[in-house]
Amino acid sequence: MPAKDEDQFFEALAAETGEGERAPSRLKARLYTALIREQQKQGPLASVTETRQHGRDLCVFEDLVQIAPVGQKAKSLFFCQVCHARLLAESFENPPIWWPHCPYAEFKSR
């Protein structure tokens, strides 16, 4: 499913649930990590190059990987797995993460 279709699907699903209490950012971070790991079991993730081509922004570390002289397999890894932002987001409700386009930083502002 293309990313925009996924966004629309989840926005419609959220709208159906009504305006209730929002999930804690730590829970969102853990769910995101679990979803990505499940997606990895199905096959390789989209490379950072493909992600950018589909209109998605990359975090600062993914930007570095995109320009690095490495193969596509290396550009398809789950880089958040080794990033301290993931650990902070999964452990603290308001983690000190500030860089743009980091999904874990965005969870605390929603």
Structural domain of 65 = 24-107
Please report whether residue 100 resides in a domain: yes
Q: Convert the pLDDT of each residue in 44-53 to its tens digit.
A: 898 888 988 9
16 in any annotated domain: no
Please indicate, yes or no, if residue 13 is contained in any of the structural domains.
Answer: no
Q: Is 95 left (phi over 0), alpha (psi -120 to 50) or beta?
A: beta
pLDDT in tens, 34-80: 999 999 999 989 888 898 899 888 888 888 888 888 888 888 988 88
Tokens of residue 50, six digits: 């493909």
The structural domain count of the chain equals 1
Would residue 19 count as lying in a domain? Answer: no
Provide the mean pLDDT of the chain.
Answer: 84
